[in-house]
């Protein structure tokens, strides 16, 4: 009978029995906790290893760095990846990883011509309390601005009600 292989534990992985090796639950952001869980994901680690080993220029092999970046975003919600060994208390954690949350809203502003379909606004929140909005410059700007202003005010009020922002 074959021997079962035991998964090798990475050197950087904190000892789960030593609470001093983990971030303070009272001080750690949602992004920090998301990273602490994701960096332990074996599939993320494999994809990171492939990404880190590739040259930054496109290659004609199995995967290019850009292909892997796309998979990291699609499969793990990571826009800018980081090595799994980076812990959330490290100073580099301010810059990487960057998680992406996407939302899609169908907006039809007041006074929008009835013969035109509503436009789609893609919103991306990088951190709680931050939004990036995509506008379609082929459509009139003012109705888009009025509509998104209304959406952002509602989101801001919701975050204030939750006590997340002042």
Answer for the pair 50, 66: CB distance below 8 angstroms, yes or no. Answer: no
pLDDT at 150: 80
User: 121: Cβ–Cβ under 8 A, 6 or more apart, which residues?
Assistant: 104, 105, 107, 133, 134, 135, 144, 147, 148, 151
Our measurement of the distance from residue 65's CA atom to the centroid of its chain's CA atoms, rounded to an integer in Å, reads: 18
Euclidean distance between the first and the last CA atom of the chain, given in angstroms as a whole number: 63
DSSP 8-state secondary structure symbol assigned to residue 22: S
Alpha carbon of residue 34 to chain centroid: 9
Q: What is the pTM of this model?
A: 0.55
Cα–Cα–Cα angle for 91, 23, 80, rounded to 5 degrees:
45
pLDDT given for residue 14 in this prediction: 84
- pLDDT, residue 118, reads 58
Describe the crossing of helices 65-76 and 42-53 by its angle, rounded to 10 degrees. 160
Lowest mean pLDDT among 7-16, 58-67, 120-129, 153-162: 120-129
Q: How confident is the model over 74-116, as pLDDT tens digits? A: 888 888 889 999 988 888 888 788 877 655 555 555 566 666 6
- DSSP lists the bridge partners of residue 80 as 98
Residues 50-61: tens digit of each pLDDT: 888 877 665 555
């Amino acid at each position: 009978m074959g021997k079962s292989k035991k998964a090798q534990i990475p050197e950087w992985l904190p000892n789960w029995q030593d609470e001093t090796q983990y971030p303070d639950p009272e001080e750690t952001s949602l992004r920090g906790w998301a990273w602490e869980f994701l960096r332990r994901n074996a599939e993320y680690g494999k994809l990171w290893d492939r990404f880190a080993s590739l040259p930054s220029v496109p290659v004609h092999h199995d995967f290019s760095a850009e292909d892997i970046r796309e998979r990291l975003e699609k499969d793990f919600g990571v826009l800018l990846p980081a090595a799994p060994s980076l812990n959330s208390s490290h100073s580099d954690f301010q810059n990487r990883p960057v998680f992406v949350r996407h939302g899609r809203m169908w907006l039809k502003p007041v006074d929008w011509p009835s013969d035109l379909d509503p436009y789609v606004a893609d919103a991306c929140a990088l951190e709680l309390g931050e939004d990036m909005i995509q506008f379609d410059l082929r459509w009139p700007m003012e109705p888009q601005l009025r509509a998104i202003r209304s959406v952002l005010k509602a989101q801001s009020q919701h975050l204030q009600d939750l006590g997340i922002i002042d």
